[in-house]
Amino acid sequence: MTAKTETSANAAPAAPRKRSNTLLWIAGPALVLGVAGWLYFTGGRFVGTDNAYVQADQITISPQIGGRVVEVLVRENQPVKAGELLFRIDQEPLQIAVARLEAQADSVRSLLDGARNGYRGAEADLRSAQADMEHAQQQYTRVQDLRKRGLVAQQALDDAANTVASTRGKRDSNSAAVAKAQSTLGGLPSASNESLPGYKLAMAQLAQAKLDLSHAEVRAPVDGVIGKTDLQVGEFLSVGQPAMPLVATATLWVEANFKETDLTNVSVGQSAEIAIDTYPGKHWKARVASISPASGAQFAVLPAQNATGNWVKIVQRIPVRLALEPAEGAPTLRAGMSAEVEIDTGAERARYSHFFGGHNAEAPVASR
């Protein structure tokens, strides 16, 4: 009797334990399948890479004129503002050139004023010579008539003809003087000096000399930081010779090299999140600014030649440029820093993924 009672007592809790095991066997796989489905439907929305770096405009500062450096006002790693003086080139030869061309411009001005006065005088002489010639011609006609009637000697007729020829020569000489003065004035005797080609040339040369003098002071074109430089006083710089690098600080961006297989749903304007290795725990908001038209290999100095028999398919990397959004109090970023990028494409992986929080891939994240 006692044995039967113990058997019944042991069998009683066995039934609930069996039901609990059955629930675990059902709920466990269901939970795994649910998590797997969630990851499948929503996993294609975000794409990321750690092959990304902070980039900035790098400007090579070069002089626009040649000369000897007489002063260097910046040092390596020094922040500068746009318009700040970086170094100065010897100005004395340029100042001499400006003075010489100013004197040349004054000389041209005097020459043109003299030509204008000469033109007026030549015109007056021409009118006088024209009148003398007309009078001589009339006198010759009268003497010729008198000679036909035998009232004067042949000598008088010859003298009258000689007078006509002389006055005609004087008239032609004065006409040539008028033409010469008119040519000096560019064919426009009444025009001002500023409109004449010779004066324009002199003033253009003077303006170029003054511009060269202003270029003796080399200034920063943008806000930035001076890079590695060893420019010293006394060095001679030629036109366009690199003097020092300047890294701009106002235009920073991130260049991320994504696998080509990750760019299926990436488009310009989508939002992104960026983490910089230098600042753990800090994140920057960004947006896709542009996508390169070709892979990085296409821009290499020696592009890959795939038309050989030893070809091996390799997933290519496509550079994507991400514009950083302004963030107050954010740490300082420097060109070359390593970054990790994650882009929210908002893409659907299956037709029913909207039940799990997916969005229409045709609508960019930035527009929602």
Q: What does the CA dihedral 272, 277, 283, 286 come to, rounded to 10 degrees?
A: -30
- What is the spatial distance between Cα 285 and Cα 78, in angstroms, rounded to a whole number? 28
The token pair at 356 is 């799990």
Task: For 278-344, give the DSSP string.
Answer: TSTT-EEEEEEEEE-SS-GGGGSSS-----STT------EEEEEEEEPP-TTPPPP-TT-EEEEEEE
Beta bridge partners of 253: 55, 323
Q: What global pTM score does this model have?
A: 0.65
Asked if residue 346 lies in contact with residue 368, where contact means CB atoms within 8 angstroms, the answer is yes
- Residue 300 confidence (pLDDT): 78
- Please enumerate in sequence order all residues whose Cβ is within 8 A of that of 56, keeping only pairs 6 or more positions apart, or say none: 247, 248, 249, 251, 252, 253, 334, 335
- Residue 17 confidence (pLDDT): 61
- What is the spatial distance between Cα 9 and Cα 13, in angstroms, rounded to a whole number? 8
- Residue 18 confidence (pLDDT): 62
Task: Assign domain 63-90+216-241 to a CATH class.
Answer: mainly beta
- Residue 1 confidence (pLDDT): 43
- Alpha-carbon distances of 172 from 125, 130, 181, 280, rounded to whole Å: 11, 9, 14, 95
- What is the spatial distance between Cα 239 and Cα 117, in angstroms, rounded to a whole number? 44
Domain spanning 43-57+246-299+314-368, CATH architecture = Beta Barrel (2.40)
Successive 10-residue mean pLDDT values, the chain, 368 residues: 47 58 73 70 78 95 96 95 96 96 89 72 75 80 78 77 81 75 64 76 94 96 94 95 93 94 92 95 94 87 72 88 90 93 78 49 42
- A 10 A CB-CB count for 56 gives 18
- Residue 37 confidence (pLDDT): 66
- A 10 A CB-CB count for 275 gives 19
